[in-house]
Structure 1
Amino acid sequence: MVAFVIILFIVLLVIGVPIALMLGLCSLIPLMVAHKIPAIVVAQKLFNGIDSFPMTAIPFFILAADLMSGGGITNRLMKFSNALLGHLRGGLAHVTVMLSMLFAGISGSALADAAGPGAVMMRIMKEAGYDEDFSGALAAVAAVIGPIIPPSIIMVVYAITEPSVSIAALFIAGIIPGVLIGLALMGCNYVLAVKRNYRFSQSRLSVKEMAVHTWRAIPVLLLPVIIIGGILSGIFTATEAAATATAYALLVGLVTRELKLKQLPKILIQSAVTSSSVLIIVSTASAFAWLITVLRIPQNLASVVAQFSSSTYVFLFVVNILLLIAGTVIDTLPAVLIFLPVLAPVAQQFHVHPLHFAIIFCVNLCIGMVTPPHGPVLFVISSISKVSIERLTKAELPLLLATIVILFLITYIPGLVLILPRLFGLIR
């Protein structure tokens, strides 16, 4: 049965069956062939997969990001980032990374980051004389930070799937890795700016001008503070934080008059479609994860890995390689729901801290969003910029290498991940 499930999964993946349908078929067909478990169990698992109060945080976070985007926050954040970094060598490239880091505190999605701030900065960089393939590659790789710095949709799904870690702990643990990736990209930008003679975007602003841009950005910058602060202080749960973020995003947009009432129907429909697609994938992946558990695939995998090595370092290296490869062909959320039930029990046997493993897992899959042949963020940027996937892939190699260096850094230095959650008393 295990071999049949694996072969079926690979065949459906290769022929291009939509991921949600593929996971549903991989759950249903083996049961129909085996006749050992009633097929109605699959229907029950499909419903149970999304019958969860914390799961409602996903549509709320998606709607909050869409409301903020509709309210013109990208322009405010861009001017604030430009005021801070625009005077440095290769300033616009630094602004692109900074903007992605700030927007990450709002959207929780790499695709939203790429289609919003990424698209804007890519156009501005091109007009300023940056190579179009580098501009697109930087916008794509910087978007990876979106699901790492909280809030993060992938982390919400991870915490619901793996109860040993909380959403709050995951959010806090993602801050340092996200910042490190941003700094690594900025360092790479500086080297390339010197080599290719990219110029400053502007001279250093006066204190008064800095204060003006900072003041205009404060309403936007407060959103991640409200989310994280509210969760840590115990004022509300992650789901309630998402609902609060939605209300705040709507209020800011209307008060600043940058969000028009006539935009709301379009924004609501867009958010509903996005949320529906996410929840359908979560539903079918939950049924598939149940089948994997019933077939004892995690236990069998742990035995196989243990035969090769009992070293935690070797295990983590293998996990990184496996997930980096998986990220090239499978979307982020389905990959969480497919591989987490398999790898998390094995990680526990190798005594890897659950929160440390969670961040390694999430960062790996986020990097997969910019690696071909799948790389959904690459396709978004390619579509917007009209630059081919091949050119974007070639241009992003040094940037991608910088993110992978940070990945292995947080893999083998657990303190980088665990220090903030321990400081806030979220873990021991």
Structure 2
Amino acid sequence: MSIVLVAIFIVLLVMGLPIAVCLGLSASIVIVTQGLPVSVVAQRSLNSLDSSPLLAVPLFIFAAALLNATGVTTHLFELVRMMFGRIRGAVAQVSIFVSLIFSGISGAALADIGALGAIQINQMKAQGYKEEFAAGLTVAAATIGPIFPPSIPIIIYASVANVSAVKLLIAGIIPALLLTAMLMIQVGILAKVKGLPRDDVRVEPRAVARKFVISLPALLAPALLIGGLISGLFGPTEVAGVTVAYALFIGIFIYRSLTVRGILGALRETVEATANILYVVATAALFAWVLTLDQVPMKVSGLLLGLSDNPLVLLLLVNVLLLVVGMVLESIAAILIIAPIIAPALTAAGVDPLQLGIVFVLNLMIGLLTPPVGMSLYMITIITKMPINRVIAGVMPFFIPLLLSLFVVSAIPGLSTWLPEILTK
């Protein structure tokens, strides 16, 4: 049954149908041909959406859209430029650091690219950077967003793998900082080797102080979210609701730039993005249920545990698998299909569930940069109007810090487990 399911899925995928249609249609065909009740299709699809953590998804999307409509991203970028000054490669370093700050608001790689991409690339081009470099760095830096809390992929993984969403979100903080540092080191090396341009920003104490005051409400947003999670005051869903309220407050009463038209635009963007995500969630859950019915998770667990009982070896094997999967499957669909199959086996082998969750998500975020289904690549081509081959050429050097970070997080469990253990006692 599983072989037929996968075969139909691959055929539909090769035909060019949307990933959600491929998942749902292949599962539905197998259910009907196996003589199972057709009502199972609706029941399993709807049950997958009956999850309170998933309520955070549209709320985080809405909050990011509101802050983008407010113009927060421009203020943040200008402030960080002043902080870095006129060092060589400064604007590239600024792009990475701003991605870290904005990731504490948006929770998604594509949201980061949509909000920051045009600003980052235009600033780098204006300073004399090659367009390929600017595009490559922008998509590479966007991988920070889904690792640092709040993270939509992490929330979805937690709901599928039965892991504490709060602990898993906190577990992403140190790996995200590591990823940021690795990217900044790479840019620092390239700045010396290739002689990247210096920023022409004028750094005056009064101007820096003024820009800091203007940017302070936006800078407080990540602190508010992470503080609420760590204190236990908010769960992931409550944090998302507070973020929306905070975005509305600063947009209307502090920045006074959020209009009714801007709110309606953010709502429209949220509905479209949420519909796409939840459609994938529902169909992927149906697909995963058919695999479970054929005992695929148990078979895969036996296979993996038969190969090795060393947690690090198993993690490295899963890394290779997920990097390949990330090339052909959309990240949320991959989480929903593969996490229920892989997680039990690796947990049984001694891999910490928090470490596994971060490794899993980081793998798939790197997959956003790899063809043929690299959503970040396609989004940046829309923004820059560049051919995808030039974007791929620009992103290639940044696979070094991304893959190095992935290996370090896989090899050192404490990077993912230490902070949750300390903060959630």
* Residue 87 of structure 1, CA deviation: 2.5
Cα distance in 2 between the residues matched to 1:262 and 1:232: 35
Q: Secondary structure at the match of 1:99?
A: helix
Q: How does 1:62-73 map to 2 (within 5 A)?
A: 62-73=61-72
The one-letter code sitting in structure 2 at the alignment partner of 1:95 is: V
- CA-based RMSD of the aligned residues comes to 1.5
1:244 matched to which residue of 2? 242
Question: Structure 1 residue runs of 4+, over 4 Å off?
Answer: none
TM-score normalised by structure 1 residue count? 0.96
* Residue 314 of structure 1, CA deviation: 1.9
Conserved 8 A contact 1:148-1:362: yes
* Residue 22 of structure 1, CA deviation: 1.2
Q: Secondary structure at the match of 1:334?
A: helix
2:282 matched to which residue of 1? 283
Cα distance in 1 between the residues matched to 2:160 and 2:244: 24
1:184-224 deviations in Å (ceiling 9; x for gaps): 11111111122222222136734443322222221011112
TM-score normalised by structure 2 residue count? 0.96
1:110 matched to which residue of 2? 109
Q: Secondary structure at the match of 1:328?
A: helix
Cα distance in 1 between the residues matched to 2:237 and 2:306: 42
Structure 1 residues without counterparts, runs of 5 or longer: none
2:22 matched to which residue of 1? 22
2:188 matched to which residue of 1? 190
2:7 matched to which residue of 1? 7
The one-letter code sitting in structure 2 at the alignment partner of 1:228 is: I
Conserved 8 A contact 2:109-2:376: yes
2:337 matched to which residue of 1? 338
Cα distance in 1 between the residues matched to 2:167 and 2:83: 30
2:32 matched to which residue of 1? 32
* Residue 368 of structure 1, CA deviation: 0.6
Cα distance in 1 between the residues matched to 2:168 and 2:222: 14
Conserved 8 A contact 2:101-2:222: no
1:416 matched to which residue of 2? 415
Q: How does 1:334-373 map to 2 (within 5 A)?
A: 334-373=333-372
Cα distance in 2 between the residues matched to 1:308 and 1:174: 29
Cα distance in 2 between the residues matched to 1:381 and 1:278: 20
* Residue 274 of structure 1, CA deviation: 0.9
Cα distance in 1 between the residues matched to 2:205 and 2:100: 23
The one-letter code sitting in structure 2 at the alignment partner of 1:239 is: T
1:142 matched to which residue of 2? 141
Conserved 8 A contact 1:138-1:396: yes
Conserved 8 A contact 1:292-1:341: no
Q: How does 1:2-401 map to 2 (within 5 A)?
A: 2-35=2-35, 37-163=36-162, 165-202=163-200, 205-255=203-253, 256-401=255-400
Cα distance in 1 between the residues matched to 2:128 and 2:263: 37
Count of residues in Structure 1 that have an aligned counterpart in Structure 2: 424
Cα distance in 1 between the residues matched to 2:353 and 2:13: 29
The one-letter code sitting in structure 2 at the alignment partner of 1:63 is: F
The one-letter code sitting in structure 1 at the alignment partner of 2:24 is: G
The one-letter code sitting in structure 2 at the alignment partner of 1:128 is: Q
* Residue 365 of structure 1, CA deviation: 0.5
The one-letter code sitting in structure 2 at the alignment partner of 1:116 is: A
* Residue 49 of structure 1, CA deviation: 0.7
1:373-403 deviations in Å (ceiling 9; x for gaps): 2111111111211222112212211211211
Cα distance in 2 between the residues matched to 1:79 and 1:45: 48
The one-letter code sitting in structure 2 at the alignment partner of 1:221 is: L
1:76-119 deviations in Å (ceiling 9; x for gaps): 11012112223222000001101111111111111111122122
Choose 201-210 or 132-141, whichever is displaced more.
Answer: 201-210
Cα distance in 1 between the residues matched to 2:12 and 2:271: 28
Cα distance in 1 between the residues matched to 2:241 and 2:44: 27
Conserved 8 A contact 1:54-1:239: yes
The one-letter code sitting in structure 2 at the alignment partner of 1:166 is: S
Conserved 8 A contact 1:90-1:189: yes
Conserved 8 A contact 1:148-1:178: yes
Cα distance in 2 between the residues matched to 1:200 and 1:240: 43
Choose 373-382 or 360-369, whichever is displaced more.
Answer: 373-382
1:92-149 deviations in Å (ceiling 9; x for gaps): 0001101111111111111111122122110111111001110111111111111111
Conserved 8 A contact 2:81-2:201: no
Cα distance in 1 between the residues matched to 2:362 and 2:145: 11
Structure 2 residues without counterparts, runs of 5 or longer: none
1:279-333 deviations in Å (ceiling 9; x for gaps): 1111111122222222111111122223333322221111001111111111111
The one-letter code sitting in structure 1 at the alignment partner of 2:17 is: V
